Amino acid sequence: MSEVRVRFAPSPTGFLHIGGLRTALYNYLYAKKNNGKFILRIEDTDQTRLVEGAIESLIKSLEWAGISYDEGVFIEGGKVVEKGDRGPYIQSKRLDIYKKYVDQLIESGHAYHCFCDKERLDNLREQQKQEGKIPKYDGKCKGLTKEEVEAKIAAGEEYVVRLKMPKNQDLNFDDLVRGHISINSRDVDDQVLLKSDGFPTYHMAVVVDDHLMGVTHIVRGEEWISSTPKHIYLYEAFGWEKPVFVHLPTVLNQNRKKLSKREGDVSVEDFQKSGYLPEGLVNYLALVGWSPEDNKEIMSLGEMEELFTFDRVASAGGIFDRKKLDWVNSHYMKELDSDKFFELAKPFIVESGLADEEFLNNKKEWTKILLETIKDSVDNLAQVPNEIKFAFEDLPTELGQEEFEVLKGETVETLLDAIEKKVFNLDEITFEDSKTFMKEIQKETGIKGKNLFMPTRIALTGLSHGPELSNVIYLLGKDKILDRIKTTKERI
């Protein structure tokens, strides 16, 4: 078997969509599993949709996700560069190559010049729709002689080049996810191959590029299934060996519709800003349409490389479940060491306004204990500020009904007095002091269990449930505790 070569070929039209990341991931995993090569190619033939900085953005998203590739387009020293011996890897740099192959198709009778203007094509489509037909080109220019074509070109008439589909031919291919697929050529349009601006369409460029770059497996979204017969016929027209096709199911929302920006996060950058770890997002995304034989759910990238196969990819669309993502991501949050957690959480804390970077760096050990205290309570980094605000902000101005009722307990006043006295007599509260603090209060007052811990937590944080109370006592420190005990006494 020849070396496996796969490619991810996005258009630089914006941020990398989460569905695009999954396509890149599956390409990457298949290449790694088979000791093959993974190529990043940029498909920018539609010049009207280009977004400045999009190439850099999508490369950074792949780097953040930990998905590396062997050939193609990279960023070095802040500049876009190309590496590999099958380039250029940016389609707009390959126009001469496409023109050569378009001319070859015209010469062999597999393509023809079309001079129909936009108005005629629009009217034709409208008429076909009204007659209940599938809109497609009617072949008006297919019968033009060579002399007629040359005369029109000489007269300066604009033209495109179309693929000349055979009249009644079954076009077959075997898809590793979908199985055998057969579509008759009469249901396929005479696709434009070369536009009037000299740029190829996707259909022409993708076939030429995949062949010349030695791509053995085309792994892409299922929206390209209907276009594959055109590509199959182009491979036949050129006399080239067809690659293996793999069409992946669409990533769907909870309503079984394609993920849309209107309904929330859809780009990799969105999830990065929402505080998800790359390990968590990639692990979960792999499971949206694929599962290993043992249905294992928590897997490192290396484990996925070992386990990945296309025969375990579902043909039905995969539902993107945010709650499941949170569950997977929370696993990786818990795995973070304290230094890594500190560095990752810092931008989110600063952005929230709770503390500036100077404060956090100066009180690094204190902040690390604070973060460890709430680690089990967060699914992603964006939730950190809300969980740690008890250590920065004053008590809530109003208590909830449950908390208010707890503070009405008959032993609460005694408990608060004991805490206030003990704290007042300490020079400072060390981490070691905090570990034995509540046991000593219990011994002094005889108050136990729920009557001991719940009123104390409410007095110090305003909440009846929360992180480890001994840590809270250390983190708040002497002055804040005394201030909050005073405030709580005034409330009751």
Q: Domain of 485? A: 401-491
Give the per-residue pLDDT at 404: 86
Same domain, residue pair 126 and 48:
no
- Among 240, 233, 224, CA closest to 175: 224
Give the per-residue pLDDT at 51: 86
Q: Note whether 452 and 470 are within 8 A (CB).
A: no
The residues, any chain, with a CB within 8 Å of residue 46's CB and separated by 6 or more, are: 11, 13, 199, 202
Q: From CA 473, how far away is CA 479, in angstroms rounded?
A: 11
221 in any annotated domain: no
User: Got the DSSP string for 394-445?
Assistant: PPPSS--HHHHHHTTSTTHHHHHHHHHHHHHT-S---HHHHHHHHHHHHHHH
327 in any annotated domain: no
* Residues tagged active-site: 261
3-class DSSP state of 359 = helix
Q: Is 450 exposed, middle or buried (0-12, 13-18, 19+ CB in 10 A)?
A: exposed
66 in any annotated domain: yes
Q: From CA 378, how far away is CA 330, in angstroms rounded?
A: 7
Give the per-residue pLDDT at 435: 93
Q: 157-194: buried (b, 16+ CB within 10 Å) or exposed (e) per residue?
A: eebbbbbbbeeeeebebebbbbeebebebeebebbbbb
328 in any annotated domain: no
Q: From CA 474, how far away is CA 374, in angstroms rounded?
A: 14
Same domain, residue pair 98 and 199:
yes
Same domain, residue pair 374 and 408:
no
Same domain, residue pair 99 and 194:
yes
Which of 147, 173, 204 marks a domain boundary? 204
pTM for this entry:
0.91
Same domain, residue pair 148 and 171:
yes
Give the per-residue pLDDT at 261: 65
Same domain, residue pair 430 and 460:
yes
User: Got the DSSP string for 26-41?
Assistant: HHHHHHHHTT-EEEE-
Phi, psi of 85 (to 5 degrees): -100, 15
Same domain, residue pair 78 and 138:
no
- Give the CATH number for residue 272: 3.40.50.620
Give the per-residue pLDDT at 257: 83
188 in any annotated domain: yes
Say whether the peptide bond before residue 88 is cis (omega within 30 degrees of 0).
yes
148 in any annotated domain: yes
Same domain, residue pair 54 and 26:
yes
**CA triplet 295, 296, 298: central angle to 5 degrees?**
145
Q: Is 91 exposed, middle or buried (0-12, 13-18, 19+ CB in 10 A)?
A: buried
Q: From CA 117, how far away is CA 449, in angstroms rounded?
A: 83
Same domain, residue pair 411 and 478:
yes
Give the per-residue pLDDT at 256: 84
Which of 369, 391, 413 marks a domain boundary? 391
DSSP state, 393? S
Give the per-residue pLDDT at 134: 84
User: Got the DSSP string for 179-246?
Assistant: EEEEEEGGGS---EEE-TTSPBPHHHHHHHHHHHTT--EEEEEGGGGGGHHHHHHHHHHHTPPP-EEE
Tell me the two tokens of residue 32.
Answer: 């790694």
361 in any annotated domain: yes
Same domain, residue pair 99 and 176:
yes
pLDDT means per 10 residues, the chain with 492 residues, are: 92 92 98 97 89 93 97 95 96 96 97 94 92 89 94 95 93 94 91 94 96 98 94 96 96 82 78 97 96 94 96 92 96 97 98 96 96 96 96 88 88 94 92 93 93 94 90 95 93 82
Domain tally, the chain: 4
170 in any annotated domain: yes
Same domain, residue pair 450 and 466:
yes
- Give the CATH number for residue 142: 3.90.800.10
